[in-house]
Amino acid sequence: MTQLDAHLVHGRRQRPEGPAPVDIISVQSQLVYGYAGNSAAMPPLRQLGLRVAEVPTTLLSNAPFYPTTRGRVLPSDWFAELLLGTRERGVHQRARVLMSGYLGSVSNGEAFADWLEQILPEAPQLKFCLDPVIGDTHTGPYVEPGLEAVFRHRLLPHAWLLTPNAFELGRLTDSDVVTESQAITAAQPLLMQGPEWVVTHSVRGAASELLTLAISCDACWKIATPELPIDVAGTGDVLTALLVAFLLEGETMPRALERAVAGVHATLESTLAAQHEELDITVAAAVAGQLGLVRFPAQRV
């Protein structure tokens, strides 16, 4: 489609001329049923009062681990058109953070990288948070292999914050990342390429514990949480969304990490208690937003 059909084009209604404020641009997947990508990140962000412009990379009926999945990855020309429209509305010049997650195809990754390189000179205030969605330990990679090169060479140098899980951190650095020390070592060459922080999760800690680590050139913080007997989609997307929200509030990294981890852990506990097959997204912001709550304290490494 090169232009909108005539019946979709109409005259401007009477309304103010001022542009609507936007805090975050989020470029991720979108589901009808369940929570992953934008479908997981948007509810807590909006509950916390943030205004988000969503750009879908996929439109799927549900996550792919069900017996059937309908919908598709957006064709790269459609995706590029959505990004272009976002630029034409000047959204990138008003937003404070750009988040990206599951891109769906190499061609979408290249289209996103092209757009990013075009808009960054026009938006010096915009911070880029890259969640390099590649796969997970128990699934292996579930994206086209060429996307890893797009992450490494075209997107990573522009990132302010990088949020891979342990498996993805290993793929980006061609290393095994299971333990705390391996994660810290693997983050170092990535920090040299541009990001201020690498925040990685699903790292093995002590018996029955998982670690979330925030690593910079100057400091490393870790949070240990009990490993729960549950595996649902969307936890990494919620973690990144909450972390970005609290950093935008002005929280320090360790405090933002404490609040974000508390919110994610509460969603897992609630999902497990209710025995639902999809993440109970409703409790993430409610728990994470409690200023005095420190369920899992961050420890300096």
Asked if residue 238 belongs to a domain, the reply is yes
pLDDT given for residue 4 in this prediction: 67
- Domain hosting 95: range is 19-199+233-254
Q: What is the DSSP letter of 179?
A: B
Asked if residue 48 belongs to a domain, the reply is yes
CB of 164 closer than 8 Å to CB of 182: no
Across 42-59, average pLDDT: 98
pLDDT at residue 50 is higher than 80: yes
pLDDT given for residue 111 in this prediction: 98
Report pTM. Answer: 0.95
pLDDT at residue 276 is higher than 80: yes
Q: How confident is the model at residue 16 (pLDDT cuts 50, 70, 90)?
A: confident
Asked if residue 43 belongs to a domain, the reply is yes
Q: How confident is the model at residue 2 (pLDDT cuts 50, 70, 90)?
A: low
Q: Which residue has the higher pLDDT, 63 or 17?
A: 63
Domain count, the chain: 1
pLDDT tens for residues 81-92? 999 999 999 999
pLDDT given for residue 3 in this prediction: 65
pLDDT at residue 14 is higher than 90: no
Q: How far is residue 132 CA from its own chain's centroid?
A: 8
pLDDT given for residue 125 in this prediction: 98
pLDDT tens for residues 100-156? 999 999 999 999 999 999 999 999 999 999 999 999 988 888 999 899 999 999 999
CB of 242 closer than 8 Å to CB of 284: yes
pLDDT given for residue 17 in this prediction: 84
Q: Are strands 161-162 and 127-130 parallel, antiparallel or unpaired?
A: parallel
DSSP code string of 249-285: HT--HHHHHHHHHHHHHHHHHHHHHHT-SS--GGGHH
Closest CA to 160 of 130, 124, 116, 131: 130
pLDDT at residue 173 is higher than 60: yes
Mean pLDDT (the chain, rounded): 95
Map residue 127 onto helix, strand or coil.
strand
Asked if residue 269 belongs to a domain, the reply is no
Q: Are strands 52-60 and 197-204 parallel, antiparallel or unpaired?
A: unpaired
Asked if residue 207 belongs to a domain, the reply is no
Asked if residue 288 belongs to a domain, the reply is no
As a whole number of angstroms, the distance between CA 298 and CA 287 comes to 17
Q: What is the DSSP letter of 152?
A: I
CATH code: domain of residue 128: 3.40.1190.20
Asked if residue 103 belongs to a domain, the reply is yes
Asked if residue 223 belongs to a domain, the reply is no
pLDDT tens for residues 180-234? 999 999 999 999 999 999 999 999 998 899 999 999 999 999 999 999 999 999 9
pLDDT at residue 261 is higher than 60: yes
